[in-house]
Amino acid sequence: MGLHFLAMHRFYLPPEFCAEPMLALDARESHHAVNVLRVRKGERVAVMDGAGHEFLCSVHAAHRKEVLVCIEETRSFAAPPFSMTLVQAIPKGKLMESIIQKSVELGATRVQPLLSERVATHLDEDGAEHKADKWWLTAVEAIKQCGQPWLPSVQIPRTLDQCLSALEKPELALVGALQGDARHPREYFSQFRAQHQRNPRSIALWIGPEGDFSSHEMDVICASGALPMTLGPLVLRCETAALYALSVTGYELR
């Protein structure tokens, strides 16, 4: 990728709106383009659809409520050969937004926020949808910032039982654990490769909240097939644990 392409402003437009040679940014992206970034007619920009395509465009018209761009070049990126799901217990405060942002940068395919016992977050259906929408926007901003061509799926917050019902069973599931029998993730990947002669195609990473999962939650997660992994000798903050697990997994799979 050339430096001229990296320096361009990036915008997001869902795939269903990227079928024509002239693209119309939505109101939110148009407002950001005109009022924040000050793009002008003739400027070159990039539009991402989050489904493996990036469009090199020139601005045809720049209005406050609608920016029109003409596609000049299309770049396509192959889908990753694996899916990586982060099941993250929702931490206190706004840490979840940071975790989602970094998950995008580290190649997560899906983020499943988990309502855990030790961080009491009570959400009704509307509240869960609102949280998911907000976190999805965080993921959109992250792909624009880092150039990730694939937009992860950000699920609504779910309880442990709901998560286990909603998630497809992965080929390899790991859970961050402080218990003595936890092993380094590399050992599990080596074991899987020895048995199957390939890397796993689907991985789930379970990361607990402040104070870790309760013993009951850990029992249920492990009973579902997740293997306890150590994240080193130190007790990591939950956001650090998530980044560590995603980084190690990405390294093993790439």
Give the percent of the chain with pLDDT over 90. Answer: 78
User: Is the pTM of the predicted complex or chain greater than 0.85?
Assistant: yes
CA distance 62 to 66: 7
10 Å Cβ neighbour count for 209? 22
In this prediction, residue 212 carries a pLDDT of: 86
In this prediction, residue 181 carries a pLDDT of: 85
pLDDT at 83 over 90: yes
User: Would you give the DSSP letter of residue 107?
Assistant: T
For range 239-248, the mean pLDDT: 94
Residues forming CATH 2.40.240.20 domain(s) in the chain = 3-76
Give the percent of the chain with pLDDT over 70. Answer: 94
In this prediction, residue 121 carries a pLDDT of: 63
Maximum separation of any 2 CA atoms in the chain, in Å: 62
20, 27, 45 from 42: Cα distances, Å = 19, 20, 9
pLDDT at 4 over 50: no
In this prediction, residue 131 carries a pLDDT of: 87
Q: Which CATH superfamily is domain 83-253 in?
A: SPOUT methyltransferase, trefoil knot domain (3.40.1280.10)
In this prediction, residue 113 carries a pLDDT of: 95
Q: Which CATH superfamily is domain 3-76 in?
A: Hypothetical PUA domain-like; domain 1 (2.40.240.20)
10 Å Cβ neighbour count for 215? 10
CA distance 89 to 221: 12
Amino acid letter, 173: A
In this prediction, residue 8 carries a pLDDT of: 86
DSSP E strand boundaries for the chain:
10-12, 22-24, 44-48, 53-62, 67-76, 83-89, 110-115, 153-154, 158-159, 172-176, 202-207, 227-229
Residues 239 and 96: beta-carbon distance below 8 Å = no
Q: In this predicted model, what pLDDT tens digit does every residue of 118-155 receive, in sequence order?
A: 776 666 666 778 888 999 999 999 999 999 999 999 99
Residue 74: strand, helix, or coil: strand
In this prediction, residue 125 carries a pLDDT of: 65
Q: In this predicted model, what pLDDT tens digit does every residue of 150-181 receive, in sequence order?
A: 999 999 999 999 999 999 999 999 999 887 78
